[in-house]
Amino acid sequence: MSELIPINIVIADRTYRIKTKPTDEEVIRKTVKLINDKIIEFKTQFAGKDMQDYIAMVIIWYATQKNAGENNNLLSKELADVILKMEQQIDDTLKL
């Protein structure tokens, strides 16, 4: 079994420290970039909203793209993995 390495990712100006397999690091970083790019896109289209609104818009965009079949399976898995890891990190932080 491969060792997990800690990496820091930044989503919407918030830093998350997650542990991942070294082979997954590139996939995670590309997914994080996609998420942040979409947040920036929505910020320019819908000025005046708060960050939570932009994150919700990205989630809705992602779900819509997935349901419409426009996302390839690799990207869907990448984003799902990142979201799962973020949820685990948040859960772990809340337990402290």
pLDDT surpassing 60 at residue 71? no
| DSSP code per residue over 63-82 | HHHHHHT-S-HHHHHHHHHH
Nearest of 86, 44, 35 to residue 65 by alpha carbon? 35
Q: Where does the pLDDT of residue 75 fall: very low under 50, low under 70, confident under 90, or very high at 90 and above?
A: low
Q: Using only the alpha carbons of the chain, give its radius of gyration.
A: 14
Domain with 74, as residue range(s), is: 5-95
pLDDT of residue 84 exceeding 60, the answer is yes
Share of the chain above pLDDT 70, in %: 85
- Residue 33 confidence (pLDDT): 94
Number of structural domains in the chain? 1
In 3D space, the residue among 67, 58, 45, 66 whose CA is nearest the CA of residue 86 turns out to be 58
Instruction: Please tell me the pTM assigned to this model.
Output: 0.66
Identity of the amino acid at 70: E
Residue 95 contacts residue 79 (beta carbons within 8 Å): no
- Tell me the pLDDT band of 15, cut-offs 50, 70 and 90: very high
| Phi, then psi, of 94 in degrees rounded to 5 | -70, -25
Which of left, alpha, beta for 87 (phi over 0: left; psi -120 to 50: alpha)? alpha
- What's the mean pLDDT in 56-67? 83
